[in-house]
Chains A and B, each alone.
Chain A
């Protein structure tokens, strides 16, 4: 197997697994930079996958009726992830309400969110479809070659053939999040309420409102992440559609040191790790490694990373601390 062949096998698969993680991990970074731990990312992804699939199944025919099968078919998955993003954002406000307004332990309310999403999803699926899982969607995202870019020698076949537009959307979102977070006044405020909310408050920043916005954005991105996973990888929804991707995204955020681009890098790394355990059989040397090591590698590496063996990571100082005006 030559290098080009190897890369055109590994990279698209890794990228395909990484994209949902990028969306969600960047959302996690935004939430945690504002001082709210988001253990609920898993639940937000579940919500997103659920809404994405259900919207796709129920609204697909309607959209096709309105726009014709060609354009309507292409439009359906995009509208599905938008719907998932909106519902994800609204759902995340529950987490915000508990963690910010009612000063709940953020980890515990995150755990509750995870349970709640799964309960709602499966309850609804059973009500509407009469079974524990939905049918497969007719309008998932399909692989495409991106025009022009796929013509680039060497890089084209690796990155721009057999790829998804959502993969590249994920990259754009990460870069945009980096720009907003580190180059705009809004980003400065966001980071300041996560580092020193009382100082931010003194400067006239509405701490709780900033946190609500941040958690809301993480909900939108988590919802999109979950729906992208559902509409590219799983293509239906059941209790096991999202099984740990949210926690991996959480880890990617920590691994990436609460930085959107770092989170993206870590998500790609985890995508590679996940894809390796899927495609390792076809790759020389790797097929000799027992699958278990590849399976646990992302988790072990995350522990090593946060233990400081792979560069020191400094969490936002006010993480997991409710802001109570007038105290110090």
Chain B
């Protein structure tokens, strides 16, 4: 148990260090100064109020997408469909935000709830197919991403945008997560109240997974599906439930974009990458709620700071994409790090043995 706990912390940390080191090496190879590059990145993430506000803005949906992947993973499911669920949640929140005139106290929660339901329904489909027909959720969710991309575009183009328009109207002020003074306070950045909702969401998920029967069943099914079934748990129900909650969380990530950052939804020519980054965030965060918050923080910082690398040090921001990809790669190949650690420990132990032998005059 102790060893496992150690690994669950060392693997992500070592992976981050390796990833950043690899980034430094690439910068050196292409003739940049890595210290300058990373300083520019830090500056771009937390250099002043505006940058900090933008970083928090980016972290907000990341927390939800990370939670979405992590929650499903606890049941042994890999939800690659967060991307599509984000689209559905985004669209639903913007639709409620633009279609009604209500007081804030009803309008905002309603819009957020709509996003969760839309995402949850989009997660229900792969969950149901998995539980009922044992269809691999990875393939279904990948396909659902494309369907969501095209369907949301078609709905926006046909129903929500003005004729020939590319985006919906702005959501009503009563459904917006933005307030002027907060934005002004953070250097006129796009920061919004969603971050509080995201942190609260993480707390709820932590409680749900760690402290309730439901969460226990969730984890049990993740550990061993057959043993759980033998213990009388309804495995199929758990699988569907897990995907619905996961989709709902992803939908909330969409609401953060729809009601917070953008305030509208435009046609998309491709994916937002919020969902795909969510996989990396969940993985780095060890699929725990607290870990996800930290990992989302790191990714938000890296991605937002990267934009400043071009200005500050001339480094293309895609360097950070390489670094994050490598971090996921190293976390996934965690066994490599365990082996490496054992080698190192073994090496030192051998040293000790030798010196001990020498002392004893052998």
Contact = CB atoms under 8 A, between A and B. Distances in A.
Interface stretch (A14-22, A59-67, A259-267, A296-304): A296-304
A112 B330 CA distance: 9
A111 interface: yes
B333 interface: yes
Contacts of B135: 303, 306-308
A200 interface: no
A107 B78 CA distance: 8
A130 to B, nearest CB: 10
A279 interface: no
B332 A104 contact: yes
Interface residues of A, number: 46
Interface stretch (A79-87, A146-154, A186-194, A240-248): A240-248
A7 B331 CA distance: 50
A97 B328 CA distance: 14
Nearest to B277: A115
Contacts of B142: 247, 250-251
Interface in A11-55: 37, 39
Interface string B100-119: 00000000000000000000
Contacts of A111: 80, 276, 279-280, 328
A76 interface: no
B13 interface: no
A126 interface: yes
Interface string A299-328: 110110011100000010000000000000
Among B138, B279, B320, the one with the most A-chain Cβ atoms within 10 Å of its Cβ is B138
B185 interface: no
A273 to B, nearest CB: 12
A120 interface: yes
* Chain B binding surface, main DSSP class: helix
A292 B152 CA distance: 10
A131 B276 CA distance: 25
Among B80, B133, B318, the one with the most A-chain Cβ atoms within 10 Å of its Cβ is B318
A296 B276 contact: no
A116 B329 contact: yes
A295 interface: yes
A122 interface: yes
A108 interface: yes
Nearest to B324: A115
A127 B310 CA distance: 11
A103 interface: yes
A12 to B, nearest CB: 25
A163 interface: no
A112 to B, nearest CB: 4
B325 A112 contact: yes
Interface string A98-119: 1001111101110111111011
Contact of B318 (A119, A247, A299, A302): A119
A290 interface: yes
Interface stretch (B143-151, B171-179, B243-251): B143-151
Interface of A: 37, 39, 94, 97-98, 101-105, 107-109, 111-116, 118-120, 122-123, 126-127, 240, 243-244, 247, 250-251, 254, 290-292, 295-296, 299-300, 302-303, 306-308, 315
Shortest 10 CB-CB contacts between residues of A and residues of B: A119-B321, A115-B325, A102-B333, A116-B325, A119-B322, A104-B332, A292-B154, A126-B316, A112-B329, A299-B143
26 contacts: A39-B138, A101-B336, A102-B335, A105-B78, A105-B332, A109-B329, A111-B279, A111-B328, A112-B326, A112-B329, A112-B332, A113-B329, A115-B324, A115-B328, A116-B325, A119-B322, A119-B324, A123-B319, A126-B318, A240-B270, A243-B270, A247-B142, A291-B154, A303-B143, A306-B136, A306-B140
